[in-house]
Amino acid sequence: MQRFDASLLVCVLLLLPLGLLATACSTPSSGSAAEAADTTQPTSAEPPQLPSTPPGLYPDRVVLSHAADPSSSLSVTWRTDSIVTGAKAQVALATGGPSFYTEARTVTAETQPLHAHRVDGEHVSANYHSVTFEGLTADTLYAYRVGDGERWSEWFQARTASAEPTPFSFVYVGDAQNNVRSHWSRLIRQAYTDAPEMAFLLHAGDLVDNAHRNVEWGHWNAAGGFIQSMVPNIAVPGNHEYAGYRTWRARDTFRVEVKASGRQMTGTILEPDGNPEPLEATSSGAAPSSGRSPAGDWDYNVDNGEYVGTLQIESDGSGYGATLVSEDGRARPLQDVSVDGNTLTGHFLMEVEKESPERLSVHWHPQFAFPENGPDGMEETVYHLDYQGMRVVGLNSEAAKMDEEVLRTQTEWLRSTLREAEQDPGIRWTVVTFHHPMFSSGEGRSNADLRAAWRPILDAYNVDLVLQGHDHTYARGQTKNLKQGVSARSPEGGAVYVNSVSGAKMYEIKPDRWEDFDGVEMERGGENTQLYQVVRVGADTIQFRAYTATGAPYDAFDLVRPGDGGPSRMIERPPAHRPERTHENTLDYARP
């Protein structure tokens, strides 16, 4: 092989990829095509970040939920300063007069610390406390408060579920996620105004935007206010409940290899994570002399790159040296430079921001007390809860999409859980909730892995409703419907699928809607609209009503249970046939 001329001085323009020289790294959420569309839409000036309320001696962030049988228990969590360790809670039958507190019983709370040295730039140091009031009477209103024996919260009221399959209602919301304190607050308060009797509030993931940010969870609590403390929450995590736990800066190695051939040069820069960035170059100087490796200037272009620099290669006769000089004049010498014929290799060191692997929000387990009847290792993110004749099943679609084994485990658990519900004569309805929609309304989104694993099971066990989020639009549809004046699902049909959004971030519905999904049609869509859904559950009928943030009706249908145990019939009601809200017929979307 020929060797480079000893007097070789090669100056090349090198266009480096964004990931190599960016001073900060970020992890895009799934669905990049839909989210990329946001950048083309008008945005308001970025407001100053609202302050995060630090924990104090008095309780805050009081969140009600169900960790056990909702007819005989209530569970509550709250936050205090880390110096508060002896936490307690009191519960009593609620009465019309103030003396109910004299009959209160005191329960000692469990305490777990939340000390994060660095969580997205925030220093968090708090204690979270939790209790489950057990042995309560079904369908009974209770008053409770939390504290440490001296410093107490106000008294809150909550009702246990009935032990019988009596009618009830609940509210379902999709992604709150963005601008929660300023924009989601009006929606959740309107929902409470319209349905103050709601038995629980169901969140289909993405409660916040940044999983570990203390300030955002504070905004979520502030937006709901006392509602979070008086209406039990049921929630599943979305992709924004997962993120790298902490970041730090460290020097890492980038390996360079280039090979010259005539006027062309190709090569790669191998990033620390093993990702090779391809380089292509063409000689910008005179044609290389016959029989010699090329000497001169080479213009390098890296696909999707945004950084320009000069790679200087030279030899003093005893060896080779090379230096990468970025456009801003920062020099990064290549180490262990080796030239073999027309191939040069070496590496340079550069400080980069690193991030720990994605994990569930550090606030999830301390803040929520959900059933722990799911698969091992998925506690409080995969679970089921039976409420007055309805089984509610929560799945963790983000964890399932990140790990095939987790998907398989959840799939088998789902099959077992629905089989158990089918055999229980006390359960008449089944509702399944997870974040990523089975049929996506967003461009470039599919979730084919979830669809292949879960849809056959949902159909096989006649699941009635599947409640989802993620797409930041409204979409409702069914499988194999019949058109006979009303919209009814055929006997072969499966569940009714709904995607919804309650927060301020909005996307567009793709032009073909759900046409590329076999056997399913989007019956009702909506864009640029915050929505909440009130679901009223009866013995033989479910009434599903969607409302805008102002309380205006937007969609409506009933599910009617046949007597033969087959799938329920879906019947549309007004305003389901009115014109849909779109980006074209609503106020121009300006992302807050």
Q: What is the pLDDT of residue 27?
A: 37
The amino acid at residue 473 is T
The amino acid at residue 136 is L
Q: What is the pLDDT of residue 5?
A: 38
Q: Which residues contact 147 (CB under 8 A, 6 or more apart)?
A: 58, 59, 87, 88, 89, 153
Output DSSP code: residue 176: -
| CA–CA distance, 185 with 178 (Å, rounded to integer) | 11
Q: Which residues contact 323 (CB under 8 A, 6 or more apart)?
A: 311, 312, 331, 332, 333, 334
Bridge partners (DSSP) of residue 581 are: none
The SS3 of residue 35 is helix
169-244+360-572 under CATH 1.10.10.10, yes or no = no
Determine how β-strand 105-108 pairs with β-strand 110-119: unpaired
Q: Which residues contact 45 (CB under 8 A, 6 or more apart)?
A: none
Do residues 256 and 349 lie in contact, with contact meaning Cβ atoms separated by under 8 Å?
A: no
Bridge partners (DSSP) of residue 497 are: 466, 477
214: enclosing H helix or E strand: helix 214-224
Q: What are phi and psi of 486, to 5 degrees?
A: -120, 170
The amino acid at residue 591 is R
Q: What is the pLDDT of residue 402?
A: 96
For 271-401, list the strands marked E by DSSP.
276-283, 297-302, 305-315, 320-326, 331-333, 335-340, 343-355, 358-360, 383-387, 390-394
Do residues 67 and 233 lie in contact, with contact meaning Cβ atoms separated by under 8 Å?
A: no
The SS3 of residue 525 is strand
- Tokens for 61? 């962030």
The amino acid at residue 519 is G
Output DSSP code: residue 181: I
- Tokens for 20? 């190599």
Determine how β-strand 201-203 pairs with β-strand 233-235: parallel
| CA–CA distance, 128 with 109 (Å, rounded to integer) | 10
* Tens digit of each residue's pLDDT, the chain (592 residues): 333 333 333 444 444 443 444 433 333 333 334 443 343 343 444 445 556 688 999 999 999 999 999 999 999 999 999 999 999 999 999 999 999 999 999 999 999 999 765 565 677 789 999 999 999 999 999 999 999 999 999 999 999 999 999 999 999 999 999 999 999 999 999 999 999 999 999 999 999 999 999 999 999 999 999 999 999 999 999 999 999 876 667 788 999 898 888 777 888 889 888 888 887 777 766 555 544 454 456 666 665 454 566 677 777 777 788 887 777 778 889 899 888 888 889 998 888 877 778 899 999 999 999 999 999 999 999 999 999 999 999 999 999 999 999 999 999 999 999 999 999 999 999 999 999 999 999 888 889 999 999 999 999 999 999 999 999 999 999 875 333 333 334 444 468 999 999 999 999 999 989 988 877 889 999 999 999 999 999 999 999 999 999 999 999 999 998 877 778 889 999 998 899 999 999 999 998 8
- CATH 3.60.21.10 intervals, the chain: 169-244+360-572
Q: What is the spatial order of strands in the sheet that 156-159 belongs to?
A: 105-108, 88-93, 141-147, 156-159
Q: What is the pLDDT of residue 290?
A: 45
Cβ–Cβ contacts within 10 Å for residue 566, how many?
12
Q: What is the pLDDT of residue 53?
A: 81
Q: What are phi and psi of 138, to 5 degrees?
A: -65, 150
Determine how β-strand 569-572 pairs with β-strand 553-560: antiparallel
